Amino acid sequence: MSVTGESLHQSSALSERTLTPEELDKLRNDRVLVSDFKQQKLEMDAQKNWDLFYKRNTTNFFKDRHWTTREFEELKNCRESQGQKLVLLEAGCGVGNCIFPLLEEDLGIFIYACDFSPRAVEFVKQNALYSTERCLAFQCDLTKDDLQATIQVETVDVATLIFVLSAIHPDKMLKALEQIYKVLRPGGIVLFRDYGLYDHAMLRFKSGNKLGENFYVRQDGTRSFFFSREYLAGLFQQAGFETLVNEYVLRETVNKKEGLCVPRVFLQSKFLKPVPSSSPT
């Protein structure tokens, strides 16, 4: 318990969070979708809206994601035993909140870092920890640009998708995953974390912000999709991946003083690019 009267409870689950009757009513009654014209404009302006987001928030918005280093240790040790460095792709790197904790801890890795927003990529390059010997940052729209223009086929050991896929239109998510699949080596891994179905942020959207099933637009024009385990597993399966781990992370921040309970739901997953049966492991 903190001095502010807040406590945090975290657990993992295979089933989605149970909604209250009030929450169920709210979601059932929110049927009005944003007009097709506005939806098309949001798609056209997607890069501009994320660029403006980073202009407003610079490097202050997202906390450094040190939790990823735990996952990388296991993968790094495996590569070191083979006498090789770990090659990482962070797809949707933002301003580097995931890559710089990794570089700071001096893991034996090389990182490709790409983002939709040119401004975000510039922030990465301006960071004191950025070095072209250890990292290559570049602008890329995973839904249409060719990732192989920068990264050779089957040379990446680990790709991360951390709060990235939710910002892409559902119709284009598969294309992004297929691009990542091509640059991953057989036996390569995707580490995924993003918004889960019935997260607090999903239930806070007011009427008029809904774009489609589990898909919403924020006031600043950026968009967010909320994943179920089944939807995500199906998407990765279509792209050719096998599921290793796929579970909800349920977090409840309880503020006893104000009588508030904020239920956060994330999906944390690990997917594998299978090794062809004829290839040596």
Domain residue limits, the chain: 11-271
Half-sphere exposure of 26 (CA within 13 A, CB side): 15
List the single range of 80-84, 85-89, 259-263 with lowest mean pLDDT: 80-84
For residue 2, what pLDDT is reported?
Answer: 42
DSSP 117: -
Q: How confident is the model at residue 54 (pLDDT cuts 50, 70, 90)?
A: low
Characterize the bridge pairing of strands 86-91 and 109-115.
parallel
At residue 62, does pLDDT exceed 70? no
pTM, two decimal places: 0.83
Residues 6 or more apart in contact with residue 222 via CB below 8 angstroms = 46, 49, 50, 53, 167
How many Cα neighbours within 13 Å face the side chain of 99?
A: 34
Mean pLDDT of the region 207-215: 91
115-119: long-range contacts (C-beta < 8 A, 24 or more apart)? Answer: 115/139, 115/140, 116/46, 116/47, 116/50, 116/92, 116/140, 116/141, 116/142, 116/167, 117/47, 117/50, 117/51, 117/53, 117/54, 118/51, 119/51, 119/54, 119/55
Short-list 191, 184, 157, CA closest to 82: 157
Q: What span, in angstroms and rounded, lies between the C-alpha atoms of 233 and 215? A: 17
Residue 131 has what DSSP assignment? -
Cβ–Cβ under 8 Å, residues 232 and 252: no
Task: Give residue 16's pLDDT.
Answer: 84
Closest CA to 27 of 167, 229, 230, 198: 198
Average pLDDT over residues 104-133: 86
Least-confidence region, from 13-22, 72-81, 270-279: 72-81
Rounded to an integer, what is the distance from CA 118 to the centroid of its chain? 18
Give the burial string for 56-71 (b: 16+ CB within 10 Å, else e). Answer: eeebeeeeebeebeeb
Task: Give the model's pLDDT for residue 48.
Answer: 73
Looking at residue 230, its pLDDT comes to: 96
- How many degrees, rounded to 5, is the angle at CA 185 between CA 102 and CA 244? 75
Q: Which residue, 270, 246, 243, is CA-closest to 161?
A: 270
CA distance 46 to 21: 35
Q: 126: closest CA among 100, 90, 89, 88?
A: 100
- On the question of pLDDT at 73 being above 70, the answer is no
If one looks up domain 11-271 in CATH, what number appears? Answer: 3.40.50.150
Of 53-67, 89-103, 176-190, 204-218, where does the model show the most confidence? 176-190
Put residue 172 in one of left, alpha, beta given phi > 0 → left and psi -120 to 50 → alpha. Answer: alpha
- Rounded Cα distance, 235 and 193, in Å: 14
pLDDT at residue 83 tops 50:
yes
Percent of the chain with pLDDT over 90: 42
